[in-house]
Amino acid sequence: MATTENQVESTGLVGWIDRRFPMTSTWKAHLSEYYAPKNFNFWYFFGSLALLVLVNQIVTGIFLTMNYKPDSQLAFASVEYIMREVPWGWLIRYMHSTGASMFFVVVYLHMFRGLMYGSYRKPRELVWIFGCAIFLCLMAEAFFGYLLPWGQMSYWGAQVIVNLFSAIPFVGPDLSLWIRGDYVVSDITLNRFFAFHVIAIPLVLLGLVFVHIVALHEVGSNNPDGIEIKAKKDPAGKPLDGIPFHPFYSVHDFFGVCVFLIVFAAIIFFAPEMGGYFLEANNFIPANPLQTPPEIAPVWYFTAFYAMLRATTDPFKIVLMIIVGLLGLLALARARGKWRIGLPVLAALLIVFMAVTEAKFWGVVVMGSAVISLFFLPWLDRSPVKSIRYRPFFHKVFYGIFVLAFLTLAFLGTKPPSPAATLIAQICALIYFAFFLGMPFWTRLGTFKQPPERVRFKPH
């Protein structure tokens, strides 16, 4: 039987591979002939850095798993064994723990860049949605991994978070029991979380990263000016304002990687615990189910959402009910058609439901909504321009207030609760959600600058 081979330009070993596997064409499509805007700035380092940290977490995680014991009687001792007896075990453990925090640092900065330059706008809605799904997956991965050292804070943190599910009406207690596999966090829970942390979530995460990059390369990268570079091409069909990703941005990102690794190494060797923010002091104490720590708080990258959860008290629930009622009245006055009746009725039913359910449940709803809101950004933003560079000044003020509110929540989440802190957290939570709920309205207002036809670029 005659066989056919793909016709390729390359020869030798590369040609032999190309006739059987699209190696060169993939290289060209995603690197050497993938045209990216030539005006990338500092904020565009963090995507490649996130990929670097992901590789670090996978590699160090593999070596840690070789010596870790997912057993409630041995887990804490196995971590100490890694630190004290395994050659370079302390380095691998600190690379993994520091990498977890640095992962969230670069992801938060990566998302902030997308927020500033409108990287969630058409045609990049799927790129943004996949990115938000990655963020959600990272939160799950961090939570499942947090229990594994089996320290005091790990144990009680997992106990508190899983118990939150019991606040869900009707199914909550059974759901929390199903998640734990026991009536308290135990050996069964540890094994489940280990399986999720080591196998299940990483597989989902890698899949999401893959489709995120594929979607990005399909529609092309955004830029600080928010201009589509594919709109203007030369006779050869190449974007006038684009340059090949390799070698220009591969070298550009290599410089960013070098600077990042210097900072990363400095933290590992001189401040791996980062004053208790990366590794808490209570986690150097074996888990004791009979002794609750004086203060239970999550790792720093969850503290903003934890502060919202903690701020949802009964008085705050009344405030939320009033806000829902006002939104219902607004819908009655402004909505048209079936929405004019449907939305007020829905608001009334929601108020009744809020009245008969406890604040703990609505704290969970608020915390979850704070993350889910990010998914809807492509449809909430109605601005005629993408980039913050060409928006009115008060838009920049709103973005600044939003970031300040989030950072304040993150700070308050690390501190013990107090009446003043709770009040500030409630105000910041309202600001956080007002930013999203009001976005369809305030993003249309003001005088917008006209974006240039070509990207602004200063050779250097």
Annotated binding site: 96, 110, 197, 212, 217
456 Ramachandran zone, left/alpha/beta (phi>0; psi -120 to 50)? beta
Q: Round to whole Å and give the CA distance between 389 and 344.
A: 38
Annotated binding site for a ubiquinone: 217
| CB burial string 169-180: b at 16+ within 10 A, e below | eeebeeebeebb
- 35: phi then psi, degrees, rounded to nearest 5: -90, 120
Integer CA distances (angstroms), 226 to 47, 127, 231, 386, 396, in order: 17, 15, 12, 5, 16
Reference 303, options 405, 408, 410, 404; nearest CA is 410
| Angle, helices 393-412/419-437, rounded to nearest 10 degrees | 140
Other Cβ atoms less than 10 A from the Cβ of 195: the count is 13
Find the length of the chain. Answer: 460
Query: Long-range contacts for 318-327 (Cβ within 8 Å, ≥24 apart)?
Result: 319/426, 319/430, 320/354, 320/362, 321/351, 321/354, 321/355, 324/350, 324/351, 324/354, 325/351
Annotated binding site for heme b: 96, 110, 197, 212
Integer CA distances (angstroms), 298 to 27, 102, 304, 376, in order: 42, 16, 10, 26
Beta bridge partners of 233: 239
Instruction: Specify burial of residue 128 (Cβ count, 10 A radius: 0-12, 13-18, 19+).
Output: buried
Element (H, E) at 244: strand 242-244
Place of tokens 């888990």: 287
302 Ramachandran zone, left/alpha/beta (phi>0; psi -120 to 50)? alpha
